[in-house]
Structure 1
């Protein structure tokens, strides 16, 4: 029994080393090359990105996901995000949900600077009151 065990361990180690030597290189270690420029990127922005400046490349997509909130008797809801300059940052779709969330997709076109703006405000349910407050949200996008 001892002889079998002592031969099995070196045999298993040898097989493992042989398999590693003949295995093809993994995709993680293979170098990546791109023809022309890199693929367009997607930038996702949310509530916490208020008043940020973000640099992107022409062709990149910017997705805005603003989260509203609900409290007893009211919903704090976002308006549709909007671009300040369609020649620089073109809207590709916007939407809202009943829970106060709003979203928007924008394509970076030409070099320049544009803002994406939205506002959040309170909408009361019947018999409730809301403060007369409008909360602005703005991100500056620099297309390079």
Structure 2
């Protein structure tokens, strides 16, 4: 009878092709202890980061290693590429979108020069965390192999 009061579930998908690893396994205490928020991490096999959700890019770090996306309803996520990429000051990263752009699931966001990253000995573990959940409960999916834009990594309900 009161279905119109029920909030619609929000789905977030893998931003990369690769292997999903638990956030707690990330070699960075800020992410591993979930100080920023709940989420998932990935060992990527490709060279492109894709939008894991529909929304608007509200933040691109000057060092190009992080993107913030606001989804409809005000839910915010952060995509953080690599654990030591900030020290490179944007080298080896090519943005494919700009702040203020609308994106859909699977929209390419960033290209990575994997050869350069390997030379710099950068850990490319990529992380997606929920920065603002608007009171919704996060249900993480237990994946191993993921495909960008098609493998669901978590649901907010």
TM-score (normalised: structure 1): 0.28
The structure whose Rg is larger is: 1
Question: Which one has more relative contact order, counting CA pairs under 8 Å at least 6 apart?
Answer: 2
TM-score by length of 2: 0.26
Q: Which has the higher strand share?
A: 1
